Amino acid sequence: MTHLRCLYTGRAPSRALAIADLRAMALRRLPGFVAEFLEGGAEDENTLAANLASFAQARFAPRVLTGPPPPSGIRLFGQDLPLPLVIAPTGFNALHWHEGDLALARAAARAGVPFTQSTVSNATIEQVAATGARHWFQLYAFRDRGASAALVERARQAGAAALVITVDAQLYGKRAWNTRLYRGENALRWPAMLDAARHPRWMAQVWARGMPGFANLYPFLPQGQSGLLPSARWVREAIDPALDWSILGWARQHWSGPLIVKGIGHPEDAARALAKGADGIVLSNHGGRQLDGALPALDLVAAVRDRLGDGPTVLIDGGARRGVDLAIARARGADAVMTGRATLYGLAAAGEAGVARALSILAEEYALAQGLIAGGPLWPPQGA
């Protein structure tokens, strides 16, 4: 009997039945150096694997005969959302698809979920705002607080609904597999360049249109350093390595809307962030790309809820690939999930249509999971 199990790797996003199909489509289209940036993690990638395993190991004890399934929507920072999902901030999106940030934002707008724009996005704040997305802006705090303040002010004027401050990237994680592909910090090694040439669809859609830059940082970059790799080095050097809790007081001086702290990895830091003026937190290990050995966010939720109670807004990121993962996160005590790679696989597979397909897959799977779980708890029950 012929074994027929295989993932879809063609070009039609409508034929993708799972995020895994979109991933397979993306990895076929992308050259190795872009795929490595998308897929890789820090050091031995133990935390990267643990993020996925934490969801895979969760088990429900579903209830039956409970009547109509519960609604999928939630309310977050005063906004009604169709499902507990926010697109996470990610950089270099235009390496996956030309104008990738705008493709993500437009698909998010159609789906009704927030899109979080990264400081190191390749589109401007104003361009993303013009898509009509529920626009959140993510900030890396630079040594030059004037540059950071200018970005926050632009986000405010553009109507961004929330400010997300990332606090776990003051130092740059060791991503050796990615680094091995480069000669120094400014050029790919020849094998990586030759591999890129063997991916003509990506070459025509991305490379031939010009390698993207960090559009929001052009006013701050030194002359001659606006290229992708030199500006990436500038960002790493510009981020404040001595970041402390005073950054939240500084943020409150410049931002009056919802303030979210992303990168929390300990219950006491979760409580302190709220005490210092945050309106919500994101439990995160940066997708396994910073400290190898950090706990998965999902494994922290129960302890954080014990410390904070039910009231404060708690999001998590890292490892969600299925709609049932959103249900797992909610059952564990999170309000919503930020997804990075799941929607990036859609982007890299088929642009805006691929992102839309990723979001629809997650929404369909979440609704199905909600109906089948019917309010049943994760098992064993917490504290058992």
For the chain, strand residue ranges (E) read 74-76, 79-81, 85-87, 114-117, 134-140, 162-166, 182-183, 187-188, 259-264, 280-283, 313-317, 336-339
Helix, strand, coil % over all residues of the chain, rounded to 5? 45, 15, 40
Half-sphere exposure of 356 (CA within 13 A, CB side): 15
- Active-site residue identified among 96, 98, 135, 286: 286
Q: Tokens representing 173?
A: 């994680």
Nearest to 87 by CA among 131, 42, 29: 131
Q: Under 8 Å CB-to-CB from 332, ≥6 apart: which residues?
A: 58, 298, 301, 302, 378, 382
In contact, 189 and 182? CB cutoff 8 Å: yes
Q: Which residue has the tokens 């199990």?
A: 5
Instruction: Please give the distance of CA 53 from its chain centroid, rounded to a whole number.
Output: 18
The amino acid present at 267, given as its one-letter code, is P
Catalytic annotation present for 286: yes
Place of tokens 């029950």: 381
Active site amino acids: 286
